[in-house]
Structure 1
Amino acid sequence: MAGLKKAWRVKSTNGFITAIDGKSQDTHKQIYWTYTINGKFANKGAAEQKVNNHDKVKFTLAKMN
């Protein structure tokens, strides 16, 4: 979360990202921010997740079912 906030405007609730650079999730449409680390979905909120220097982190705004 700290690294993400250095580069972009981020809003969060309870450690989970709700908006990045003005692009917000929409809970009514089930569209949420998710992220992967080295191609695998993370199982923690971004505020709790530890990453290493060479990890590749990708955030995606997507519909979840």
Structure 2
Amino acid sequence: MRQLSRNDNQQIAGSYCGMGVCHCCLVKIDGRHKRRACQTVVRPGMKVETASNRLNTEGLQ
């Protein structure tokens, strides 16, 4: 895999999968945690917060 970045655990990360299986695009949307950005239709007025959901070696926080 080509390295594009590193995750919070310093593991090599590639591009996002775009189909909801890698969980690398998790964001908080309108106060709801762990929403997949790649599977969410954008709408006007939507509040999206990044860096609030993380993967770790035990899974999702």
Q: Which TM-score band (shorter chain)?
A: 0.3 to 0.5
Higher strand share: 1
TM-score (norm 1): 0.40
TM-score by length of 2: 0.42
